[in-house]
Structure 1
Amino acid sequence: MASRKSPLFDTATTVGKIMSFLGVSALCGLLAAGLIFPLAASGGAAAAAGTDILEDIPAELAEEPLSVPSHIYASDGTELATFYAENRQPVALEDISQEMIDAIIAIEDERFYEHGGVDPRGLSRALVHNATSDSQQGASTITQQYVNNMLINAVVITGEGRLTISGTGEKTYADKLREMKLAVAVEQEMTKDEILAGYLNIVLLGGRTYGVEAAAQYYWGIPASELNVAQSAVLAGMVQSPNGYNPEVDPEASQARRDIVLGSMLDEEVITEEEYDEAVASGLGLDISREEVGCVSASMGEYFCDYVRREILASDTFGPDEAAREELLDRGGLRITTTLDPDAQTAAEEGVMETVPADDSSGAGAAISSVEPGTGNILAMAQNRVFTPEPGDGNTTLNYNVDAEDGGGNGFQPGSSLKPFVVAAYLEEGGETDDVVDASVDEWGDTSRWEASCLERGYTTSDQDWTVGNVEEDSNRRMTIDYGVYFSVNTATLATASDMDLCAITNLTDRLGVHRATDTSQGLSPQNPSFVLGTDEIAPLTQAAAYAAFAADGTFCEPRAILEVTDTHGNEYDVPEANCDQVIDEDIVAQVNDITINIAEGTIAAGDPPFPMAGKTGTTDEAAHTWFVGYSSGVSTASWIGNPESNQGYRGRTVAGEFYEEFFGSTLAAPMWLDYMEQVGGDYDTSDFREADDSPFEDRRDRERYRDGGTVSEGGDPGTDGSAVDSEDDSDDDSDDENSNNGGNNDSDGDDD
């Protein structure tokens, strides 16, 4: 215990010596009389034995920090959730009502300000009572009780020693002696007010509620400074039996005990007869303010809260193992400030629930993950489910937005939302977006070789013969790279990949942090060529972070959720700073953006975007998973609608009360994304994207002609036959990018992307 000289003992040394003498004398006298150690031996033997024990007992109280709740906050300080093993809110003595102070002293230690830690009169009274009565009477002073609670706290925190609190084991005579000696020592180190404040902050007051501040808030929803006479008497009465006199559990017993305390207060003349009568006549007046613990009761962002909790438990910054980290979270009074934007989170939560209600009969899931380009800060994380372990439709603790190790599932196939990565890799290999590929090939044999320099053989083949189809008619022909991506032509993507090294694609996705949701150390594999059509399961947060690099001129940032962690003592814990690297050349990014801007602004925003935006849709077999992943300069967001339970799709089914013959990324995922971005995007950077050095688009009219199926250069077209493409403005309908892939099993007949 830190040495702090008590003003009482510094300024009144004579009184201090007398008080200390009385305390030690009482101990020695009781030892000599054999009252504390009624050994079989008599006289001097007992006294000698007691004296030896007294000398062996440490005189200093080894203090351990009190268990204090931890709190998770949004970036603006909004409290999200509380974690605790003991609900405690430490306050100074001046923040506790005088009525509470008077009540505890009156019932527990009326001579608190007179003794030196041990009360000889109280001891004598208890000894006589216990010797002449069947009932037992205690004589512990408030100081002794404070010591006992501190010892218990130390055992809980360190796991060393043993508990002596009622209900966890009877005190031995050695326990009592140790408590007395430590009480005398504490009185010489701390002021009476310090002891009283410490006691009122540590004492158990029912359930997991500790200290008068937490108790006042729990039972009446008021601070301890506002406790009146009757309320104070209730709490003071609970000290003897925190659960037996719990007003919530047994109001009759609590009220009877309260009235005993009020009688003691009247006897000690700290309340008047009138105050006594009024308090006794009153009811308990409970207004229970139950504060649930953990992410289940988070004010918002329950799934994000769980993500943060798991980050704490996984980091050795907060302890050597998970058990120690959980102990710190539950008891260490951590203040965890996160990256969450409450406004963005509210918009995301409303968006997913309005798009597909949690208990929708379709069982469809909806999720939004949003990150900030240039920092990786997670701004929002929402899904159309209720975070609870309780069974029921729409209930789950599985986080659709994240990897399995972070509380998520197996991830979801991204479909055509993977195509911008293929284009970026193609450009890195020296290609151009207006290069022409032969998209007429839609059958691939198991002997077809695909270059893959990072594999042992330097190439790979498909596991079996497979056929790939496209949704758009007249898509199996020659076309430019950018046209193929804009209309999401699967055969064009495969033609692009077949002309390059597949490992160049996986090298790029590795740099963008793209990995399987089931194994964060496992990036996309070029072993099966179908991966270029988005057959490997990926979490929405991974998608949002990867696309953020296109918004940040090629700078990829690891997603992060925690900005700062401090504890009750002001100690700061090391948390990761923004971890960003330039992973793609900015001009290559600008060329990719030329294509994805057309999709987001022209198709999704119907030519009237609120600010510059870009993105790409994606749909898997039978529309089991549909996406729109897009970005402004300041926000990157992955929007997912799909089946979290199986690969059964939503074509020809009813979702959110509407029947859909066709179901694509542009059906629900894209509108959900646009609505969210319109609400949130304006709070962040909305500047124009960087122009590519050799962009074929000179102005918006060029983009509009391109979206209508024309070309930028006169007389040319996305094909090579010299005729303009007649698309019938397909980019404006639900099939703007939806074509087919093999769903990862190489046997698709081609009906989606």
Structure 2
Amino acid sequence: MASRKSPLFDTATTVGKIMSFLGVSALCGLLAAGLVFPLAATGGAAASAGGDILHEVPAELQEEPLSTPSHMYASDGETRIATFYEENRVPVDLEDVSQEMRDALIAIEDERFYEHGGVDAQGVARAAVHNVTASTQQGASTLTMQYVNNVLNNAAVVSGEGNFLAAGIQEKTYADKLREMKLAVQVEQEMTKDEILEGYLNIVMLGGRNYGVEAAAQYYWDTTASELDHQQAATLAGIVQAPNYYRPDLEDNVARAETRRNTVLRNMMIHDFITEEEYEEAVAVDLGESLDIQSNEVGCIAADFAEYFCDYVTEDFLQNDAFGEDPGDRAELLARGGLRIVTTLDADMQRQAEDTVWDHQPRGSQAAALLNSMDPETGDILAMAQSTTYDPNDELEDWNSTSLNLNVGNSHNGGLGFQGGSILKPFVSAAWVEEGNSMDDNVDADRTEYRYGERWEASCMPRGSVTLLQGEGEPDAYRISNVLDDTEREMTVDWGLFHSINTATMATANDMDLCAITDLTDRLGIVGTSEGIELGPLRPDTPSFVLGSASITPLVMNRAYAAFANDGTVCTPRSILEVTDAHGNEYDLPNADCEEVVEPDVVAQVNDTMINIAEQNLYVGERDGDAPFPMAGKTGTNHNVSGMSFQGYTEGVATSAYVTRMNDNNRMWDEGNVPDDSYAGSVAFPLWYDFMRDAAPTRATGDFPEADDSPFDDRRSGYGERYAMSELGPGSGSSSDDDDDDDDDDDD
């Protein structure tokens, strides 16, 4: 930091001339003791002369808002999620500070506070004598001067100049001291004594990140400023002299903090703030044993719950230019602006989600169960949970302790997502219907291989088509297979989606324009990564994308499925409802961002199938017999059984459920130990259902609209015979394999 040139030492000024005349060294000693300051108590010619001198001292009290913590709340505006701060401060009125605390501070820092006019004449004289006769230096700062000093320091921090005075990086110059003294007199003319004392008690540093007596009382003893007793008040008043030297929460500091406390108590007795009996009682208290230190961690790691959602909201905040020009400014606002941030989180739903993911935690390490829920009509994120411990300090050495948010992507401290698998298949069906076809059209699902070099229609690609390219060492054809026996035959698109038949999905895609599928996924906001390609829209140049070869995050997938719960209207995920600053001013935030991208009748036709997939799952029958409310969705099982998912929804809640494992062999279970029923319908669906069984009824659970031209009025109850074909249940007719050169190409 460049040194600052003070006008006090410019010999062209009156003050500079006086300093040159008297000699810098001699006058500095006087200035340090305050002897040239015009004291209201001295009056006469000396005061007048001093006033002339100080008239040229630059003095403007640059006040900035005090740094106060920001709080993040759930959507009810009452349930606190987390607190953010650089300075832990809870401003209070003077009437809410105990008399013991006021007395202790005055007794040790400024016993004539209510008598002087900003600078204490007796204190100045005492300091002058001491500084002339002793080898040590003594100051004469009053509480008013200290208040001014703290205000100036706060302004320096807010303006970006840094807290160099308080930090001891640069000592105060005599110019600084004179300015401080002049400002103290000005403050005394503009504020009452009680207002000054109140300001000081709220601004002063009291060890670590604790500023002000209310925050300090809460931190050291889990009490309030109004309840501080003599020994507690004396401890805090003693900290003022050297905040980090006397803070008693550090083991090495306890003894000296207690000694300093006793000094304060002695002063309180000398100046008749307490009796000798009260003094003896207070000094007898063991300071170390009296402490009840509260957690001082801040941010999402100290969140009461919903840590991963908290992290997501923080990233949303830092990326929103409504809160500052750049991320640094926004971070400063979050840490110091005293904001009230109300999020979209449903607190009860979040707690239910957290309980459920831990109940369904996969066996072994490096495994996790995930849930995220949103409101289909607004995009509001209602819950976000995963069965790992949130820890920003862990660098993925322990999969079960991480800050990596598996529900989201890189932009929000997440990953690349998971291969979509069969949860991509409903979009193929929807595109098929958009092209003017029907879910009851037949496709030739008997084809298990497609020759390399064969052309597929893709109107958005060069020459209007794509070609399957053969890789080195690959067989002559791209092969796929199904799990269910006797399914390589002609079938309806509806039947193929219900049983998740790979050959049916590929046949459907082969009979249509691949770009119609990617156009639909683009409108629904589906982005992913494939074969190391940068994150972006799904690409029609590799037909295997229809079987879920791209990696997509659960939140992105949930957004797309939520459109099927909302008659084809998709909404941008939203995490923040309102933000209000410390003065009650509300920031201008956008409303829900929604757009109809699929015709409602198209959605209704595809929903006919997905309703049966969800409601006829065996787990529903085992738990409740019949589905307790209308529901729909689709299962997906990823390559090597490393992950399973169920994307499902009711009228009022869309929820993404994932069970995943990432380890050396990338399998959910060890080799030779894969249960016979290890498909998403029996692993991910129970996770989804156990959560939604309690969460969904808190919001709308009405019937989904029926398609205008549905050929079968009884379709939603006519799957009995079809369902009986497989003990695995609906959606389980394929096994995931997302590598183009393998025999089985997808999912569940």
Q: Same fold (TM over 0.5)?
A: yes
SS in structure 2 of the partner of residue 402 of structure 1: strand
Long gaps (5+) in structure 1: 1-26, 710-726
In structure 2, what is the Cα distance between the partners aligned to 1:524 and 1:53? 76
CA separation of 1:36/1:593 partners in 2, compared to 1, >3 Å: closer, same or farther?
A: farther
State the one-letter code of the partner of 1:708: E
For residues 116-127 of structure 1, the aligned pairs below 5 Å read: 116-127=117-128
For residues 481-492 of structure 1, the aligned pairs below 5 Å read: 481-492=493-504
In structure 2, what is the Cα distance between the partners aligned to 1:42 and 1:312? 52
Contact kept, 8 Å, 1:490 with 1:741, in 2: the verdict is no
2:536 matched to 1:522?
A: yes
In structure 2, what is the Cα distance between the partners aligned to 1:253 and 1:34? 42
In structure 2, what is the Cα distance between the partners aligned to 1:535 and 1:472? 21
2:577 matched to 1:563?
A: yes
Q: CA deviation at 1:602?
A: 1.1
Report the equivalent of 2:348.
343
TM-score (norm 1): 0.88
Contact kept, 8 Å, 1:625 with 1:641, in 2: the verdict is yes
Report the equivalent of 2:568.
554
State the one-letter code of the partner of 2:432: Y
CA separation of 1:49/1:430 partners in 2, compared to 1, >3 Å: closer, same or farther?
A: farther
In structure 1, what is the Cα distance between the partners aligned to 2:433 and 2:572? 24
2:296 matched to 1:291?
A: yes
Report the equivalent of 1:8.
none
2:638 matched to 1:633?
A: no
Q: CA deviation at 1:176?
A: 0.4
2:649 matched to 1:643?
A: no
In structure 1, what is the Cα distance between the partners aligned to 2:162 and 2:610? 65
Contact kept, 8 Å, 2:204 with 2:211, in 1: the verdict is yes
CA separation of 1:312/1:519 partners in 2, compared to 1, >3 Å: closer, same or farther?
A: farther
Contact kept, 8 Å, 1:349 with 1:382, in 2: the verdict is yes
Report the equivalent of 1:106.
107
2:720 matched to 1:743?
A: no
Residues 272-311 of structure 1, C-alpha deviations (whole Å, 9 max, x = no match) = 2221121122222111112311111111111111111111
CA separation of 1:647/1:423 partners in 2, compared to 1, >3 Å: closer, same or farther?
A: farther
Report the equivalent of 1:663.
678
State the one-letter code of the partner of 2:725: D
Report the equivalent of 2:620.
605
Q: 2:480 aligns with which of 447, 454, 468?
A: 468
SS in structure 1 of the partner of residue 696 of structure 2: helix
State the one-letter code of the partner of 1:78: T
State the one-letter code of the partner of 2:743: S
Q: CA deviation at 1:554?
A: 1.0
Report the equivalent of 1:309.
314
Contact kept, 8 Å, 1:414 with 1:625, in 2: the verdict is no
State the one-letter code of the partner of 1:729: M
In structure 2, what is the Cα distance between the partners aligned to 1:200 and 1:36? 36
Greater alpha carbon shift after TM alignment, 450-459 vs 683-692: 450-459
CA separation of 1:57/1:449 partners in 2, compared to 1, >3 Å: closer, same or farther?
A: farther
In structure 2, what is the Cα distance between the partners aligned to 1:366 and 1:456? 42
In structure 2, what is the Cα distance between the partners aligned to 1:621 and 1:487? 18
For residues 368-383 of structure 1, the aligned pairs below 5 Å read: 368-383=371-386
In structure 1, what is the Cα distance between the partners aligned to 2:282 and 2:735? 77
Q: CA deviation at 1:151?
A: 1.0
Contact kept, 8 Å, 2:422 with 2:747, in 1: the verdict is no
Residues 582-618 of structure 1, C-alpha deviations (whole Å, 9 max, x = no match) = 1111111111110000010112523611110001001
Q: CA deviation at 1:316?
A: 1.4
Q: Say what the alpha-carbon RMSD is for the aligned residues.
A: 2.7
CA separation of 1:363/1:735 partners in 2, compared to 1, >3 Å: closer, same or farther?
A: farther
Report the equivalent of 1:233.
234
Long gaps (5+) in structure 2: 1-14, 38-47, 471-476
CA separation of 1:707/1:127 partners in 2, compared to 1, >3 Å: closer, same or farther?
A: farther
Residues 202-253 of structure 1, C-alpha deviations (whole Å, 9 max, x = no match) = 1110111111000000000001010011110100011001111112221111
State the one-letter code of the partner of 2:734: N
State the one-letter code of the partner of 1:327: E
TM-score (norm 2): 0.89
Contact kept, 8 Å, 2:365 with 2:399, in 1: the verdict is no
2:674 matched to 1:674?
A: no
CA separation of 1:265/1:480 partners in 2, compared to 1, >3 Å: closer, same or farther?
A: same
Aligned length: 699
Contact kept, 8 Å, 2:357 with 2:687, in 1: the verdict is yes
Report the equivalent of 1:619.
637
CA separation of 1:344/1:520 partners in 2, compared to 1, >3 Å: closer, same or farther?
A: farther
SS in structure 2 of the partner of residue 629 of structure 1: strand
For residues 122-141 of structure 1, the aligned pairs below 5 Å read: 122-141=123-142
CA separation of 1:51/1:224 partners in 2, compared to 1, >3 Å: closer, same or farther?
A: closer
Report the equivalent of 2:718.
705
2:179 matched to 1:178?
A: yes
Contact kept, 8 Å, 1:80 with 1:298, in 2: the verdict is yes
Report the equivalent of 1:93.
94
For residues 317-336 of structure 1, the aligned pairs below 5 Å read: 317-336=322-341
SS in structure 2 of the partner of residue 376 of structure 1: coil
CA separation of 1:697/1:101 partners in 2, compared to 1, >3 Å: closer, same or farther?
A: farther
Residues 18-60 of structure 1, C-alpha deviations (whole Å, 9 max, x = no match) = xxxxxxxxx99x98996986359999xx999998983443333
In structure 1, what is the Cα distance between the partners aligned to 2:420 and 2:546? 10
In structure 1, what is the Cα distance between the partners aligned to 2:669 and 2:183? 75
Q: CA deviation at 1:736?
A: 3.9
CA separation of 1:374/1:519 partners in 2, compared to 1, >3 Å: closer, same or farther?
A: farther
Greater alpha carbon shift after TM alignment, 565-574 vs 608-617: 565-574
For residues 379-528 of structure 1, the aligned pairs below 5 Å read: 379-388=382-391, 389-390=393-394, 391-392=397-398, 394-464=400-470, 465-516=477-528, 522-528=536-542
Greater alpha carbon shift after TM alignment, 167-176 vs 137-146: 167-176
Report the equivalent of 1:72.
72
CA separation of 1:230/1:505 partners in 2, compared to 1, >3 Å: closer, same or farther?
A: same
SS in structure 1 of the partner of residue 443 of structure 2: strand
SS in structure 1 of the partner of residue 86 of structure 2: coil
State the one-letter code of the partner of 2:467: T
In structure 2, what is the Cα distance between the partners aligned to 1:642 and 1:132? 76
In structure 1, what is the Cα distance between the partners aligned to 2:304 and 2:29? 65
In structure 1, what is the Cα distance between the partners aligned to 2:142 and 2:23? 18
In structure 2, what is the Cα distance between the partners aligned to 1:282 and 1:532? 73
2:362 matched to 1:363?
A: no
Contact kept, 8 Å, 2:637 with 2:736, in 1: the verdict is no
Contact kept, 8 Å, 2:118 with 2:145, in 1: the verdict is yes
CA separation of 1:556/1:127 partners in 2, compared to 1, >3 Å: closer, same or farther?
A: same
In structure 2, what is the Cα distance between the partners aligned to 1:86 and 1:651? 48
2:578 matched to 1:577?
A: no
Q: CA deviation at 1:189?
A: 1.7
State the one-letter code of the partner of 1:598: N
State the one-letter code of the partner of 1:469: S
State the one-letter code of the partner of 2:267: S
State the one-letter code of the partner of 1:547: Y
Q: CA deviation at 1:705?
A: 3.1
Contact kept, 8 Å, 1:365 with 1:643, in 2: the verdict is yes
In structure 2, what is the Cα distance between the partners aligned to 1:41 and 1:223? 42
Q: CA deviation at 1:447?
A: 1.1
In structure 1, what is the Cα distance between the partners aligned to 2:20 and 2:278? 46
2:275 matched to 1:272?
A: yes
Contact kept, 8 Å, 2:341 with 2:578, in 1: the verdict is yes
For residues 139-158 of structure 1, the aligned pairs below 5 Å read: 139-158=140-159
CA separation of 1:55/1:462 partners in 2, compared to 1, >3 Å: closer, same or farther?
A: farther
2:734 matched to 1:733?
A: no
Contact kept, 8 Å, 1:707 with 1:729, in 2: the verdict is no
In structure 1, what is the Cα distance between the partners aligned to 2:28 and 2:236? 42
In structure 2, what is the Cα distance between the partners aligned to 1:54 and 1:521? 65
In structure 2, what is the Cα distance between the partners aligned to 1:148 and 1:87? 19
State the one-letter code of the partner of 1:650: M
Report the equivalent of 2:553.
539
2:702 matched to 1:687?
A: yes
SS in structure 1 of the partner of residue 718 of structure 2: helix
